[in-house]
Structure 1
Amino acid sequence: MDRVQWSELPTELLAATAKRLSTRIDILRFRSVCRSWRYSVSPNFLPLQLPFPAIPRDSIRETIGGVFSLYETTVYLLQPADSPHGHGASSKGGWLIKVEEQSPDHKVLLLNPLSRTRIKSSPLATFPAVLNLSDFRFSELGKDYILRYSGYRPLTVSVHEFEELFIRKAILAPSDSNPVSIATSHDYAVAAIYRSGKLGFFKPGDEGWIVLDDEPHRYEDVVHHHGQFIAVDRSGRAVVADQSSFKASLVAHPIVDSGVRKQLVNSLGELFLVDRYLDRGPVVFTKEEEIEWCNTDQGGSDIAARFKVYKLDFSEQKWVEVKSLGDRVFMVGDSHSFSFSSCDFSGYKRNSIYFTHEYLCLYEEENGGLSSYDVGVFNLEDGSVRVLASFPDYSQLF
């Protein structure tokens, strides 16, 4: 049998193959093989256009107009192609980055992986100005979504209206049959948490957002887990909503003696809850010692001091406390959390939670003061908290 050149494969076969690719990087690499492969599949860049306002307000819609634009960001572990698998994830050989693709011209924004803060220029001389896909190995660790208001005229609203109209977090659930090609698909659903703490949903074909009538609960986080949306409120009470009907039902009762902030993490097919407890502060961490109290102008603001981790027991409808994460690493960000194994990527501390907090400070003598909004590392085994800069070999992973 004569061999067929790759460039001469049938378009139908290429399209069927592309549907089985699981990441954006795979899609881009697939399209880079040759001209016929490139035109066989669309890159499908977001944003999606969603209705504004999120909570129906005819007066605002008529006088202001506009839409929500949903942008996708992806967290990657970026390593040189010549580094061994499971190695090189240090300041000398790898970076944890969040990338937002804004347009089909392949220009991207580089963001802090645990927040949505834009990195205007890389602080590392070793970080490449151009990311050639053939020179690096990309490991996709998670996705985050950003809703931006695109208005036709300036928007002026009261504080109450701002809480009701705008969205703090949104997640996208694509079709199971077409998990990557989102922008051209009409089979997806969006779940969102409003700044007021309400929970809303949208899918193509709906006239507007569906808001869950669930007062007085204020939701703090929502994730997509095994084909369903699961949201948790401040007490730890969690509800599950079907992706098609958006009917919500209780999946976990509140936590006794719970903390002040709840964040959900998908890990190895299980759903975990990270509960944050606060002490008065702020606290300053130095590279030589773990915790040092100080006086700043912040006026006694709270500082994340410890965490508890729970795993969802669906059958018992409760959160079960977990004392150890094993070799897992939890990354708990402002709007998105994810996990991976420390065995797969060296440089990350096993059984630990990496987190951000605006009052987590590192005292930098060379800068003559406090550098806020650093990355903290909570060790679940001994309960210690240290800043990432305490680990010299890995302080520039972010």
Structure 2
Amino acid sequence: MSQIVFSGSFSSEGGLEWAEDGCYFVTEILIKHHDSRSSWDFTCCCLPEELLELILQRVTDIVDLYQCSNVCHSWRSIARKQSALLPPQLLVLRNPNNVIDKIQMINMFIGSSSVCKIPEFNTRDGVRYMPMIVESSHGWLVMNYNTSKSRKVEGHLNYICLYNPLSREEIWLPPLLLNSENPKFVLSSKPTNPSCIVLALHEKKLVFWRFGNKKWTFLKNVEYWINDIICYKDEFHALQMKGNPPYPEVPYLLQVKFSPKCHVKSIPTKSNRSFYFAFNYLVESLCGNLWMVCTVLGNLGTSTLKFQVYKLHWKMMKWEKIKSLGDQAIVLACNDSVCVQADESTVYKKNCIYFTDDLCNGRGPSKEFGTYDLENETMNHLPFLNHDNPCYRWFKLDIWYND
């Protein structure tokens, strides 16, 4: 069995006092499981829960915390709680020739970073495929592979890889015939779950893949473009805007259900605002509400002026504007926006939106990165990282008990 050693001393109250340099020392030992400078030896799985929580609170690196979660069930339970407090990692996708050749994972709050290994895919005749789109869902990356040659052909095959950048697990899905270069993918759960369903939207078509299928299944043509898709309370929901100028757009909520059979239900919703010149995202709050985050654009649609947040009133099917997120913050991203706890125990500022620009809005590579204070309606633009033609995504560590 793995052994763990640490440096420190117990206080009279039974807690643990750490030396100024002891925090980093303990973190290193947790990961490496050995060191000759120990004062005591402990069986790692027998540590008291209170002590284990104190130790893992000092693990701020996402890779280290993932490794800690693999020690045993008790470590996984504490690491799962701690992962909810860690900030999502900023994925910087280097995209010099419209293909992604480097993925860097950065903690924007402490400055740590690591480079993700990109899975290789080669055809039988030796042609190397590179990912051209990378999205994030449930702690996995959805990577869409293609060759620069095939992208010029209408109706080309795309090879989809579900990839865990921490464990380096790969799950290759059946090829998908696409006419669009920017499809959206949403997972219902972690792909290691046998009940996982992958829903893909390209152009105005919905197709899905479920565990064990040998091909994608066509679901439905949709009449209007879909803004965003989310898996909310174990069901897929999509936001769709219907209407043509000069008439106001009407937001519709598409519910995609797979039990007892696959079907799509379109539900009109009410709102007291126009959604023109805005991009809209769906996000689930920590208390289970469905929120819609609207970006209001300026400068002919090339920059973000402000954000507005609406909560869906399910009985009235009406979007109601809210001015406070409470002790929460929103990390906004294409297909995988998340709410995070924002209080003194976290690095987030409550009632704020952390955002990046992305390819979903059709304006090309990202040139915006910053925070927006919903209460004060103030924008703080941060300098984007100087990479070759960068794109930004967020990656949130998702630790499950049954991994």
What's the TM-score once normalised by structure 1's chain length? 0.52
- Give the partner amino acid of 2:380: R
The alignment status of 1:149 with 2:156, answered yes or no, reads no
The residue correspondences of 1:279-290 to structure 2 (distance < 5 A) are 279-280=298-299
Residue in 2 aligned with 1:303? 303
> 1:25-47, CA deviations, whole angstroms, 9 ceiling, x for partnerless residues?
8885454459xx9xxxxxxxxxx
The alignment status of 1:222 with 2:229, answered yes or no, reads yes
Q: CA–CA distance in 2 between the matches of 1:270 and 1:24?
A: 31
Residue in 2 aligned with 1:273? 292
The alignment status of 1:338 with 2:357, answered yes or no, reads no
- Secondary structure of the residue aligned to 1:343 is coil
The alignment status of 1:318 with 2:318, answered yes or no, reads yes
| 8 A contact 1:270–1:311 mirrored in 2 | yes
Unaligned runs of 5+ in 2: 1-42, 46-61, 75-79, 95-99, 117-135, 158-176, 242-248, 360-364, 384-393, 396-403
Q: CA–CA distance in 1 between the matches of 2:105 and 2:319?
A: 42
- Give the partner amino acid of 2:354: Y
The alignment status of 1:261 with 2:279, answered yes or no, reads yes
Q: CA–CA distance in 2 between the matches of 1:77 and 1:98?
A: 20
Residue in 1 aligned with 2:199? 191
| 8 A contact 1:142–1:338 mirrored in 2 | no
**Identical counterparts, % of pairs:** 20
Q: CA–CA distance in 1 between the matches of 2:178 and 2:219?
A: 14
Q: CA–CA distance in 2 between the matches of 1:266 and 1:160?
A: 34
Select between 243-252 and 221-230 the one with higher mean Cα deviation.
Answer: 243-252
Q: CA–CA distance in 2 between the matches of 1:160 and 1:141?
A: 24
| 8 A contact 1:238–1:251 mirrored in 2 | yes
The alignment status of 1:209 with 2:217, answered yes or no, reads yes
Q: CA–CA distance in 2 between the matches of 1:388 and 1:264?
A: 24
> 1:349-369, CA deviations, whole angstroms, 9 ceiling, x for partnerless residues?
21111112379xxxxxxxxxx
| 8 A contact 2:328–2:340 mirrored in 1 | yes
- Give the partner amino acid of 2:312: L
Please report how far the alpha carbon of residue 220 of structure 1 lies from its aligned counterpart in structure 2 after TM superposition. 1.5
Backbone CA RMSD of aligned residues = 4.8
User: Residues 78 and 375 of structure 1: is their aligned pair in 2 closer, same or farther, counting only changes over 3 Å?
Assistant: farther
- Secondary structure of the residue aligned to 1:325 is coil
Q: CA–CA distance in 2 between the matches of 1:123 and 1:27?
A: 15
| 8 A contact 2:310–2:320 mirrored in 1 | yes
User: Residues 126 and 321 of structure 1: is their aligned pair in 2 closer, same or farther, counting only changes over 3 Å?
Assistant: closer
Q: CA–CA distance in 2 between the matches of 1:145 and 1:27?
A: 16
The alignment status of 1:127 with 2:112, answered yes or no, reads yes
Residue in 2 aligned with 1:49? none
Residue in 1 aligned with 2:354? 354
User: Residues 384 and 142 of structure 1: is their aligned pair in 2 closer, same or farther, counting only changes over 3 Å?
Assistant: farther
> 1:153-189, CA deviations, whole angstroms, 9 ceiling, x for partnerless residues?
8453149999735552211113xxxxx5x34x54221
User: Residues 304 and 148 of structure 1: is their aligned pair in 2 closer, same or farther, counting only changes over 3 Å?
Assistant: same
> 1:250-300, CA deviations, whole angstroms, 9 ceiling, x for partnerless residues?
3442544124211011112111100111111xxxxxxxxxxxxxxxxxxx6
Q: CA–CA distance in 2 between the matches of 1:171 and 1:348?
A: 26
Residue in 2 aligned with 1:242? 257
User: Residues 239 and 381 of structure 1: is their aligned pair in 2 closer, same or farther, counting only changes over 3 Å?
Assistant: same
The residue correspondences of 1:358-373 to structure 2 (distance < 5 A) are 373=367
Q: CA–CA distance in 1 between the matches of 2:341 and 2:232?
A: 19
Q: CA–CA distance in 2 between the matches of 1:249 and 1:24?
A: 40
Please report how far the alpha carbon of residue 336 of structure 1 lies from its aligned counterpart in structure 2 after TM superposition. 2.1
The alignment status of 1:97 with 2:116, answered yes or no, reads no
| 8 A contact 1:353–1:377 mirrored in 2 | yes
User: Residues 301 and 98 of structure 1: is their aligned pair in 2 closer, same or farther, counting only changes over 3 Å?
Assistant: closer
User: Residues 121 and 187 of structure 1: is their aligned pair in 2 closer, same or farther, counting only changes over 3 Å?
Assistant: closer
Please report how far the alpha carbon of residue 145 of structure 1 lies from its aligned counterpart in structure 2 after TM superposition. 4.0
> 1:41-100, CA deviations, whole angstroms, 9 ceiling, x for partnerless residues?
xxxxxxxxxxxxxxxxxxxxxxxxxxxxxxxxxxx9999xxxxx97xx8xxxxx64157x
Please report how far the alpha carbon of residue 209 of structure 1 lies from its aligned counterpart in structure 2 after TM superposition. 2.5
Pick from 373, 380, 397: which aligns with 1:379? 373
Q: CA–CA distance in 1 between the matches of 2:63 and 2:107?
A: 26
- Give the partner amino acid of 2:234: G
| 8 A contact 2:229–2:335 mirrored in 1 | no
| 8 A contact 1:228–1:241 mirrored in 2 | yes
Please report how far the alpha carbon of residue 127 of structure 1 lies from its aligned counterpart in structure 2 after TM superposition. 2.5
| 8 A contact 2:207–2:219 mirrored in 1 | yes
